[in-house]
Structure 1
């Protein structure tokens, strides 16, 4: 992967995580983004607890993190589809990026000190991208999986 493309991917990942106030509020942090996978992370904190009896992560936070990493991976598909696109055209396409559908399967309670949301692009078309996402805790336990469909054009 060339330097310019790597830089564009890193800028994309950081922008999509850091420019959205809600993502900052729940503590999402960009970790890595590439052609094959995108990863974001966040720490457990008291305001993210959904079940106060057991101190586990709120399902809405899980869904939000998975949707964010999925949308970022869909944006990678836009970038890959238009490698020579000028920045204004790329910004126009990214502005249209939106979630059409997301299905989350919660596999086990969200226990852990830190969580990692990962995404892989399954299909990138001219109008729609399909992404597979997973959420793991710091011990490597799979907490949830999801499939998302994103409008990209």
Structure 2
């Protein structure tokens, strides 16, 4: 299967970054963008005391794990939608993309969230006219796989 990867323009990259920055919850968690491309999205999250779910072991809260995988997945779905909606006018494209939202999210928690920095990587599995499916992984700084997620996103 040789599928060409969508090339994200600088303007589109800045649009995704701007969209991400406008969500207060992303800022409250401390999620940072590492990479935005047509191939993948990478975000990281430094551990801080407010994110601990199990205070006796000092591990990352499951809701935080789910959130960063969802945020990375949503960004990847948005990038996939750019590719699918290239033929539309800028106004029509933005109107459709403003409806982006999570339809379904499945998280498999594989190991406790121990670490100082967690990195979420998301790749597009399928992008249709209205729905995208994204696979995400969360690793700690030692490259230990903490959780995986599959998200379905409304994007059109």
TM value normalised by structure 2:
0.91
Q: Distance in 2 between matches of 1:146 and 1:16?
A: 22
Report the 3-state secondary structure (helix = DSSP H, G, I; strand = E; otherwise coil) of the residue aligned with 1:62: helix
Q: Give how far 1:136 is off.
A: 0.6
Whether contact under 8 Å (1:100, 1:151) holds in the other structure is yes
Whether contact under 8 Å (1:18, 1:24) holds in the other structure is yes
Q: Deviations over 1:64-109 (max 9, x none)?
A: 0000000000001111112354332222122110100000000000
Task: Identify which of 127, 133, 143 aligns with 1:124.
Answer: 127
Which structure 1 segments of 5+ residues have no match?
A: none
Report the 3-state secondary structure (helix = DSSP H, G, I; strand = E; otherwise coil) of the residue aligned with 1:96: coil
Q: Which runs of 4+ in 1 moved over 6 A?
A: none
How many residues matched?
A: 151
Q: Give how far 1:119 is off.
A: 0.4
Task: Identify which of 38, 47, 52 aligns with 2:41.
Answer: 38
User: Who is 1:77 aligned against?
Assistant: 80
Whether contact under 8 Å (1:13, 1:30) holds in the other structure is no
The 10-residue stretch of structure 1 (128-137 or 4-13) with the greater mean CA deviation from structure 2: 4-13
Q: Does 1:18 align with 2:11?
A: no
Q: Distance in 2 between matches of 1:104 and 1:5?
A: 27
Whether contact under 8 Å (2:8, 2:79) holds in the other structure is no
Q: Deviations over 1:114-152 (max 9, x none)?
A: 111110000000111000000011111110000000011
TM value normalised by structure 1:
0.93
Q: Give how far 1:5 is off.
A: 3.6
Report the 3-state secondary structure (helix = DSSP H, G, I; strand = E; otherwise coil) of the residue aligned with 2:9: helix
User: Who is 1:90 aligned against?
Assistant: 93
Task: Identify which of 95, 109, 112 aligns with 1:109.
Answer: 112
Task: Identify which of 119, 140, 145 aligns with 1:142.
Answer: 145
User: Who is 1:27 aligned against?
Assistant: 30
Q: Greater helix share, 1 or 2?
A: 1
